[in-house]
Chains A and B, each alone.
Chain A
Amino acid sequence: DIQMTQSPSTLSASVGDRVTITCRASQNINSWLAWYQQRPGKAPNLLIYKASILKSGVPSRFSGSQSGTEFSLTISSLQPDDSATYYCQQYKSDYSFGQGTKLEMK
């Protein structure tokens, strides 16, 4: 099974900050990685797929990148609406999620 290790588990940042969340795969997953945002009490929403492709309608301040088996989600200028939990997910072999990163506003 492919394990996804996500960090940090919690993150506190201010409006306008640049924020990066990282996810490491236990083996090669090519670019079969997605990022989701989940607000409390709501279903997750897809932000990025194939490591760096922004889903239509997602603000351009969100971006994804890859270096080998390490993946990053970056929010270029944090907005109050971005307070949520973020998950990575690989879909190369079955599916598996990272543990989540709770992003809070300072």
Chain B
Amino acid sequence: QVQLVESGGGLVKPGGSLRLSCAASGFTFSDHYMSWIRQAPGKGLEWISYISNSGYSTDYADSLKGRFTISRDNARKLLYLEMNSLRAEDTAVYYCARDRELDFWGQGTLVTVSS
């Protein structure tokens, strides 16, 4: 069965960096677009970025361009999100999800940005 497992979240100071990972299993990872979405505490869903199945095409929410970078390793079935210059407002649960319809989601990993 399709499974997505995020990791790498935690407590980081403002201005710091963090790299999230999403491990995929149960499907042919290299055939599917992948995305990152986040949800601040008590708030709605916010799309962050997507990457094409090959990794050659990426796009980002305008508000996050330049600070976040999405990448993937198809051989290892891993999706990544590199986050730099983190701010308090980046505090959220970060989800990875499959395909443009986001048909499967991971359980999420919590990122807390605080001094």
Q: Given A34-B101, A34-B102, does the pair A97, B45 have CB atoms closer than 8 Å?
A: yes
The verdict on B103 contacting chain A, using a C-beta distance below 8 Å, is yes
In the complex, chain A residues whose CB is within 8 Å of the CB of B17:
none
Q: In the complex, what residues of A have CB within 8 A of residue B46's CB? A: 97
Q: Does B84 contact A (CB under 8 A)?
A: no
* B101 & A100 in contact (Cβ 8 Å cutoff): no
Taking the closest CB of chain B, its distance from the CB of A65, in whole angstroms, is 17
- SS of A interface (majority): loop
A46 and B101 within 8 A (CB): yes
Within 8 A of B (CB), among A38-62: 38, 43-46, 49-50, 55
Task: Name the interface size band of chain A.
Answer: 20 to 34
CB-CB under 8 A from B105, the residues of chain A are 43-45
A19-27, A66-74, A75-83, A88-96: which lies at the interface: A88-96
Tell me if A87 and B45 are in contact (CB < 8 A). Answer: yes
A99 in the interface (beta carbon within 8 A): yes
Given contacts A87-B44, A99-B44, contact A43 B101 (CB under 8 A): no
> Which residues of B are interface residues toward A (Cβ below 8 A)?
35, 37, 44-47, 50, 59, 61-62, 95, 100-108
A residues contacting B by CB (< 8 A) are 1, 32, 34, 36, 38, 43-46, 49-50, 55, 87, 89, 91, 94-100
